[in-house]
Every structure is written in structure tokens, then in C-alpha cells.
Amino acid sequence: MTDTSPSLDPTFLALPLRALADAALARAAELGASHADFRLERVRSASWRLRDARPAGTSDALQLGFAVRVVKDGAWGFAAGVDLTPSAAARVAEQAVAVARLSAGIGAASGTEDVVELAEEPVYPDATWISSYEVNPFEVPDAEKTALLADWSSRLLGAEGVSHVTASLLTVQENKFYADSAGTVTTQQRIRLSPELEAVSVDEATGAFDSMRTLAPPVGRGWEYLRGKGWDWESELAELPVLLAEKMKAPSVEAGRYDLVIDPTNLWLTIHESIGHATELDRALGYEAAYAGTSFATFDRLGSLRYGSDVMHVTGDRTAEHGLSTIGYDDEGVRTQAWDLVKDGTLVGYQLDRRMAWLKGLGRSHGCAYADSPAHVPVQRMANVSLQPAVAGPDTAGLIAGVEDGVYIAGDRSWSIDMQRYNRMFTG
């Protein structure tokens, strides 16, 4: 039997991974760093876009570089480079140590010194992880990708009431090599893709128009996803024009009080914003206040904040098969895992990296450190955050059967969030 399981990209393995890491880590140690880690990434992302079944744009980008992060004198230091030689790696390590020294001096001078320590983690001396997929989309000819999107677009354009169709596909292959001064060495590869079609209906007589997108989520799968593995594309493409025609004729929902049944294609956004970002501990502690701010789920409310009813159980998980946040080891060499965030309706946990775990005495990191580029420092980022089904709870049909006057919401549109996430407004 032929082994068809995915393997590590030989182009990545041909890079001088160990030599670069050894040079950087050795130089950091010589300069007195108490911790050092080296991360080399090769990230390829490609996209295709069609309008009315005709090509409208394509891109194919590659990021290749490395980063060195250190702890020196109780402070972080970070630097990145693109010259893949041992001497350059050593120079980047020197730059990272210089940044740490400067940071430590600024902290001491200002009286706001915040000593960096990392939670303990076992050593993984030679670990390899590859995400779960069958066909690497980068091994599929571009013509085949365009032909499939054009075929789907043409089928929608042929339906009554559909005036225009846009189609897009984004594919990403991420290769990472990580090594640290404790002895952990990891080599990883993961594939992600995001396909989407949007149909537009225009009433020529009145000028009214509306649109509807496919509901298929982005996933950690390969090309097999577009061939029906994990999503029923045939049913969705057949149903979308029918729903769009109904939407064009539908009256606005009258103001009032309703029961809401929220489909996962919309509920993911509510979970992402109100639980996912809110339970990132760096955000809850005020270390991160980017974009939509900090969090109402502050540390003093751990174990007491009431998120929902007793059946509400939400987990953080970096191991779920095909998850967008699924990885084997994070960017601090932590082996990934699953844990509770909300249990019996109450806040019971946060998402942690090694620094945050140590800072609050919470034990081991949850493996949530992530950098989206070889030039960026790892920060604490969201795991796959999911609402678990209630034990012996109803299925979707059962939920709907119990509603006498309600609204069923599928798909996401726009959203707005205040700076502490108390108020969240979503459309579907």
C-alpha cells in the first residue's frame, strides 16, 4: 500500500535550519541570556478571485525569514533577519540581547520594571507535526482552481434572479522551525484555505439589490475540502439562489422581543468576540488593548463571572482536527492542548502563554503564543474556542421546534464592539 499521508516540504527541510539555530542560541548564551529561542518560517499564501466567472485577480506571496527572542536581565529582547547564514543569525541574536538590555534599563529607570519569567514546559528535543489534510492545494494546478471557481460561478449566474457572482479562494502553507536554549526543537507544517462565493441580485425596475455569501467556513484542510470533504458544496450552491430570492422579497423584522436560534455560521463570531478575545489573559490584564480594546472578563472575576446558563460549556483547544488555530507546538515550544474557559456557565479559565501563566501562578502555558510572520514577535493569540453541545441536548431541529416566535440567524455580516466588549452588535 502506498503511503499518501502528507510529508514535510523538502524545500523547507533543505534550509540550514539547525545551523542557524545553533549559531543564534550559542551567541545569545555567550551574551548572558537566561532564555533564547529561534524561529524560522516559510509562509506561502496564494489567492484567486473571479467576477462573473472571469478571472479578476491573483496573487502568490512568500515570506521567508527568522527571529530570535531572548530574556536578558529580566526583560524581553527581539530581532529578526532574512540573511540565512550562521553569522547573520548570530548578529540577530546580538541585536535581540541589545534590545533586552535597553528594555531592562528603561524599566529600572522608570520604576516600572516588570521582570519576565516563563512557566515551565517539558523539553521536546526533536518533534515533528503536520496538519491533517489529504491534498496540498499548492500541488493542484492553478488552472484547476480557476476552472472550479468559474464552474461554481456559472452555475449561480444561471439561476433566476442572480445578477453577479464573485468567487475567491485563499490558500496558505506555513512551515515553522523552532529551537530554544532548553533543548526543544520542533518542525511543523500546516495547510489552511478559505473559499467563498457571493451572489448579488439586482432588481432593474426598482434599483433594489441584495447579496448572499456561501456559509462554508475557512478550515485547516487541503484541496479535498473543495471536492466535498467536510462541506456539502452541491447543496449550498443549489440553495443559495433560492434563499437570495426570498431575501429580496422579505420584509424587515419588526421591532420586538424574539427567541433567537443562532446557526454556527453566525454564532462563531459571537463566541470569537465575547469569549475568545475576552479570555485572552494578556487582554484581560491590560497588556493588549489593540483594535477592540481590553476585556470585561477581568482576572478578579475568575471563578465568579456568570457567562450563561448552567449548560454553557466553552473550551479552548489547539488540537482540534482541521481547526484554524490547530498546531502541534506553539511559538514558545509548548505542546498544545485543550482546556475549559467557561464551565457550568461560569468563567473558569483563560488562554495563556508562558509569560502570562507564570505571572499569575497558573501553572503550565496553554500553548497560545503565536506570530503571524517571521518578522513579528509572538504574542498570546486565540485558540479554537468552541461552545460544547449540552449533554442530552436537542439538535438544531429540536431547538427550532421549541420556538413559537423567533428568528433563525445564519451567516455573518458586519459587527461592532465597544472597547471592553460589553456591547457587541452582529448582523447575519
Q: pLDDT by residue (tens digit) across 241-290? A: 999 999 999 998 999 999 999 999 999 999 999 999 999 999 999 888 87
Q: What is the pLDDT of residue 110?
A: 59
Does 10-249 carry CATH code 3.40.50.2000? no
Q: What is the pLDDT of residue 280?
A: 95
Q: What is the pLDDT of residue 175?
A: 98
Return residue ranges of the chain for CATH 3.30.2290.10. 10-249
Q: What is the pLDDT of residue 2?
A: 42
Joined together, the cell numbers standing for residue 2 give 502506498
Q: What is the pLDDT of residue 4?
A: 58
Enumerate residues 6+ apart whose C-beta is below 8 A from 291. Answer: none
Q: What are 387's strand-pairing partners?
A: 314
Q: pLDDT by residue (tens digit) across 370-396? A: 999 999 999 999 999 999 998 888 988
d(CA 257, CA 406): 8
What is this structure's pTM? 0.93
Whether the CB-CB separation of 381 and 280 falls below 8 Å is answered with: yes
Which residues of the chain are modeled with pLDDT < 70?
1-4, 108-113, 291
Using left for φ > 0, alpha for ψ between -120 and 50, and beta otherwise, residue 228 falls in left
Closest by CA to 244, choosing from 167, 169, 156, 168, is: 156
